[in-house]
A and B are shown apart, each in its own frame.
Chain A
Amino acid sequence: MLFRALADSTRRAILDELAVRDDQTLFEICSRLAVNHGLTPTRQAVSQHLDVLEDAGLVHSRREGRYRYHTLDTSPLREITRRWPVPGDA
């Protein structure tokens, strides 16, 4: 699930943008992809990418009133260095 989520360049770009700040709407994510990455997938496509990232635990979304916000969670990435420790890292 984690590796499939990371295996797509658009999803990695979404993670790059969510790393900048928490609580982003789909509109903000789409704007960031267009301006900062030259990516203009449809909103539906971005929404599906977010679903994949959420299934992998890399993104959490929450509803606040009428709005939905997305936030990055990098903790699932620990699995990578747990499996393949980086020499020198504690």
Chain B
Amino acid sequence: MPRITVFSIFVDDQREALAFYTDVLGFRLKADMPMGEHAWLTVVDPAHPDGTEISLEPAEHPAVGPFRAALAADGIPFTSFGVDDLDAEVARLTELGVRFTQPPLDFGPVRTAVLDDTCGNLIQLAQHVS
């Protein structure tokens, strides 16, 4: 069966997105292959350098703008990343100037917060609580 090797996030600007996803969130650059005016640009979890890559995709297609604007207006995260200690991570990111549209809240088996990735997406951070 197919394996999950890459998933994509549309970003306003690939270089700014790379800076945010590496310098701020803490992922590591994996692939950076020029493709015309853009690049095949991926990052990975530094603890799993051969694990699933996130492709930072140009958001140029005309359908992407309205799609992301509608999600953002309703506060809906495009995807979710796992963290071990949500409150510590939110404190660390807030210190770095990251903006949250939802502070840490308990929702049943998960504690979540939602951040603005500065590249056009809301991202949920989730900690599983037992």
Contacts and interface: CB of A to CB of B under 8 A. Distances in A.
A60 B75 CA distance: 16
Interface string A42-63: 0100010000000000000001
Contacts of A63: 73
Interface stretch (A6-14, A22-30, A78-86): A22-30
A29 B114 CA distance: 13
Interface stretch (B24-32, B33-41, B89-97, B100-108): B100-108
A31 interface: yes
Interface footprint category on A: 10 to 19
B57 to A, nearest CB: 19
Contacts, number: 45
Interface string B67-83: 00100111111000000
A3 interface: no
Interface footprint category on B: 10 to 19
A67 B107 CA distance: 21
A66 B105 contact: no
17 contacts: A25-B74, A25-B76, A27-B74, A27-B76, A27-B102, A31-B112, A32-B107, A34-B107, A43-B74, A47-B74, A66-B73, A67-B75, A67-B101, A68-B73, A68-B74, A69-B75, A69-B101
Given A27-B114, A67-B101, A68-B75, 13 more contacts: A24-B75, A25-B101, A28-B102, A28-B105, A28-B114, A31-B107, A34-B107, A43-B74, A47-B74, A63-B73, A66-B73, A67-B72, A69-B75
Interface of B: 69, 72-77, 101-103, 105, 107-108, 112, 114
